[in-house]
Chain A
Amino acid sequence: MKNTISVRVADFLKNYPPFNELRSKDLEVLSQEIKIIYKVKDAIIFSEDEKAHEHFYVVHKGAVALLKKPNESMVDLCDEGDIFGLRPLMANEDYKMEAKAYEESILYAIPIANFRPFTKSHDGVANFLMESFASNTRNPYSIGRKGKLFQDGPEANDAPKEGSDFLDLQSVNYSKKLVTCTPNTTLKTVALSMTKKKVGAMLILNNKLPIGIITDKDIRNKIATGEFPITAKAKDIMSSPVITYPKKMTLAQAQMAMMKSGISHLCITTDGTPNSEAIGIISKHDIMLELGNNPAVLMKAIKRAGKYKKIKTVRRGIMSLLQGYLRQNIPLTLISKIITELNDACIKQVISIALEKMEEQPPVKFAWLALGSQGRSEQLLHTDQDNALIFEDVASEDLQVTKEYFLLLSKQVTQGLNAIGYEYCPADMMASNPEWCLSISEWKERTFHWITNPGRDEVLLSSIFFDFNRSYGESFLVDELTEHIFETTQKYPIFFVHLASGALQNPSPSGFFRSFLVEEDGAHKDFFDLKRRALMPLVDGARVLVLSSQIKSINNTAERFEKLAELEPNNQELFLACSYATKALLKFRTRQGLLHNDSGRFIALDTLSKEEKIKLKRTFKTIKELQELIKIRFKVANLVG
């Protein structure tokens, strides 16, 4: 019997092939037979050589990785709406790959017995399956990303080569959203439409047949140079004839074709000749994006993204880039600069999208602050979002309305950030919380209170908040607040003593015999807490030293230590060691995080090599020395005693 849930399931499926080929009645009936399965991250859905289940799967939420032995290389990553585990059912085989939840996921399990009749009665369904099996892609009709973002870095070819062959032979995904015009369209219209749709090329169609193409380059070379007047028509400057290809071509073929003819766009037609209907276009950008591994391409993709979901896809590309960099042992300072830049761009884009979604423009100027690790540019992996918002002062009668506007905006942004992979802050330290969305005067008052009443909570709040960094909006608001904080701390130096004592609160990394201290209970029993026991003492130490030395606008912990080394020649050695330790630990954490697809905070010691353990222990010595220095400099003992 049809019910609310089956209708909900059907409503989702009807948007994705091959279910879009089914009549809505049939889909309703099929939806009633479905099971909805919740899988936590890393849960196995089926393993290699396991006997095929009675149903295949569609990803409703989250993502599922398909992995292949011997080294668990990722063959495919299935997103919302993607099908997996169908081929073995059709071919009566065992599973050839392992399917594992890449994120927390909700799956629809569709019984093959109920689905099989459609593969016979509906040509569209049958064709889809044929094509997807033949082309070895899960969804031959998909546009945009898809393909493999997980190509190995150039030097890392100890990994099996089949991965990259697989990629080259993968059929190319072309954009089906054609931007076209007629031969008599004026160039101004062409340029406006290209700008609006954010594309680099426009097809000129005559009765659906492609007769020419205009790219950015044509406009530059032929109009801006004065060769043609701005009043010219599309047909005057278009490149003709168009180079056309059939839709079944591989990535490698597409790349070759572009290189051969020195062009950046290929037109796809029904039969591959210019005498049939144009159905799509492949740009060099599309191909670059599929190959991933290029910050410039990723950056462009972020700026083009009009939806949160698109950014999420790009972020996976960023992760694979990071992985490649680490494998190539590129210095962490450089890695974190690039990755932070890309992450910042993602956040900016989320805020721009959120602003567009708002009905009105912001009533006054504002700034969006990243706090914590994001503010310190130390966030390489997906972690929680910590953020805050400052807006300009308004008349007291307008404060309520203004705040409501920014809270609404912040809610949009935090939801967007959540959608692209930043978990909500468990302590609700986000701009969507009225406590963290304040006018500049309110912020000044708040920070003044923290500094002059340094209780336990106030010190904790300060240590999180004082690493703020602007990610969007007006910098004068941020500067004003920074200035205020420095002035206030100078007037109330006792604050530093409290901040310093807070910095010494972190538990020690090693025990009496220099053995690692591991967690004693909880979900991470017997794991080493890298963040709390090793990174935090360095981060907290750097903060109090930098604040008390009145060093402004350096947020990154390693850079803070470098600056301190410069200012205090007699402690130079220690501070440089601290800077090195911070980088080493961060790199360590990032590696561990990528390995386990988590935040890298907790480390299973038995998975470390002896060399890694020694490296780790060496940083502990530095941490101890740093803590001694802080204890003496701020006379923390007095306070405790």
Chain B
Amino acid sequence: MISFFKKKKTNYPDFWVHYVEQFQKGLPSELNEVRFVVLDTETTGFDYDNDRILSIGALSLQNGTIEVKQSFEVFLYQHFYHAKNVEIHGILKDERQERITELEALMLFLEFISNSVLVAHHAAFDVKMINEALKRHGMPGLKNKTLDTSVLYKKTLIKSPLLIPQEQYTLDHLAEKFDISTRDRHTALGDAYITAIAFLKIIQKLKSQKNFSAKRFLK
């Protein structure tokens, strides 16, 4: 187990090596065959250096179908804690939720995502949080292709002089526009589910636009 912390490239843990191997297979060219993993993380805050992941929720989406059984939800032990964030997420440090270590969570997560395309709302944040965690355990960052629903949503908006696009669109905004119930908001898997449904509706809108190509979409 000590080998985890050695920074020599040749000594990555087995689960990482296994994860990397998955990328030898390319992605399918048909959008229907691509497996998307829609994810969300709940963290202690927004500081990449000091804040930590409290929970990861993810679900798998393929051909417009979510299998409930194939969803991923873990809660992590963390020593670092902001009281103010508890209000948002409702995750209390000592709440009796089965918890696992960060390393275990990462192992399970990599196994779950494999080489799928990752989807998240404001994806850069979630990916960076996970990458920081990987770094703490001596591994490089995620290798998956990533799509951001906040960016994709902007592309669905019509170009009209009457519509002034906003800088940022929140997940709540998307939920409202697409009529998705916001129960379970601010739980990792609950947010992932809202993101997934919004993602499906966004793809549908983009598909009806001119010059849509699956290849470019996944680039």
Contacts and interface: CB of A to CB of B under 8 A. Distances in A.
A424 B176 CA distance: 10
A415 B180 CA distance: 12
B97 to A, nearest CB: 12
Chain B contact residues (Cβ within 8 angstroms of A): what range? 20 to 34
Interface string A428-456: 11000000000000000000000000001
B209 A5 contact: no
A596 interface: no
Nearest to B160: A427
Q: Which A-B residue pairs are the 4 nearest by beta carbons?
A: A4-B189, A523-B208, A36-B66, A457-B161
Contacts of B64: 37-39
29 contacts: A3-B68, A3-B71, A3-B73, A4-B189, A4-B190, A5-B71, A8-B193, A9-B68, A32-B69, A33-B68, A33-B69, A35-B67, A35-B68, A36-B66, A36-B67, A36-B68, A37-B64, A37-B66, A38-B64, A38-B65, A38-B200, A106-B197, A424-B177, A426-B158, A426-B163, A456-B161, A460-B162, A521-B210, A523-B207
Contacts of A32: 68-69
Contacts of B183: 8
A377 interface: no
A31 B71 CA distance: 13
Contact of B184 (A4, A419, A426, A457): A4
Interface string B22-61: 0000000000000000000000000000000000010100
B162 A428 contact: yes
Give the most central of A4, A8, A104, A424: most B CB within 10 Å. Answer: A4
A4 B59 CA distance: 11
Contacts of B211: 521
A38 B32 CA distance: 12
A104 B201 CA distance: 9
Interface string A495-529: 00000000000000000000000000111000000
B101 interface: no
A579 interface: no
Interface in A520-543: 521-523
B162 A522 contact: no
Contacts, number: 83
A87 B179 CA distance: 31
Contacts of B161: 456-457, 460
Contact of A427 (B67, B163, B190): B163
B158 A522 contact: no
A526 B208 CA distance: 14
A61 B175 CA distance: 14
Contacts of A38: 64-65, 197, 200
Contact of A4 (B193, B200, B204): B193
A33 B66 CA distance: 11
B20 to A, nearest CB: 28
Interface string B178-219: 010001100101100100010011001001111100000000
A8 B163 CA distance: 35
B157 interface: yes
A90 interface: no
A464 to B, nearest CB: 8
Given A8-B190, A32-B69, 14 more contacts: A3-B189, A4-B73, A5-B68, A8-B183, A35-B67, A38-B64, A38-B197, A419-B179, A426-B160, A427-B160, A427-B163, A457-B161, A457-B162, A523-B207
A263 interface: no
Interface of A: 3-6, 8-9, 31-40, 61, 104, 106, 109, 415, 418-419, 424, 426-429, 456-457, 460-461, 521-523
Nearest to A8: B184
Given A426-B157, A427-B162, A4 B68 contact: no
A428 B204 contact: no
Given A424-B177, A523-B209, A6 B162 contact: no
Contacts of A36: 65-68
Nearest to A524: B208
B73 A31 contact: no
B38 to A, nearest CB: 11
Contacts of B200: 38
B204 A40 contact: yes
A35 B208 CA distance: 26
Contacts of B163: 426-428
Nearest to A12: B181
A43 B10 CA distance: 50
A36 B66 CA distance: 5
Contacts of B184: 4, 8
Contacts of A33: 68-69
A635 to B, nearest CB: 26
Contacts of B179: 61, 418-419
B76 to A, nearest CB: 16
Contacts of B201: 104
A36 B199 CA distance: 14
Interface in B140-167: 157-158, 160-163
A34 B68 contact: yes
Nearest to A3: B73
Nearest to A31: B68
A418 to B, nearest CB: 6
Residue from A36, A104, A106, A415 with most neighbouring chain B CB atoms (10 Å)? A36
Nearest to B70: A35
Contacts of B204: 40, 104
Given A4-B184, A5-B193, A429-B162, A522 B209 contact: yes
A239 B217 CA distance: 70
B91 to A, nearest CB: 12
Nearest to B98: A1
B160 A5 contact: no
A521 B213 CA distance: 14
Contact of B65 (A37, A427, A522): A37
A6 B70 CA distance: 11
Interface centre among B57, B64, B184, B208 (most CB of A within 10 A): B64
Interface centre among A3, A428, A429, A460 (most CB of B within 10 A): A3
B19 to A, nearest CB: 22
Interface in B60-86: 64-69, 71, 73
Contacts of A9: 68
Contacts of B158: 426-427
Nearest to A432: B176
Contacts of B176: 415
B175 to A, nearest CB: 12
Contacts of A109: 65
A34 B67 CA distance: 6
A522 B210 contact: yes
A6 B57 CA distance: 13
Contacts of A424: 177
B65 A5 contact: no
A427 B161 CA distance: 9
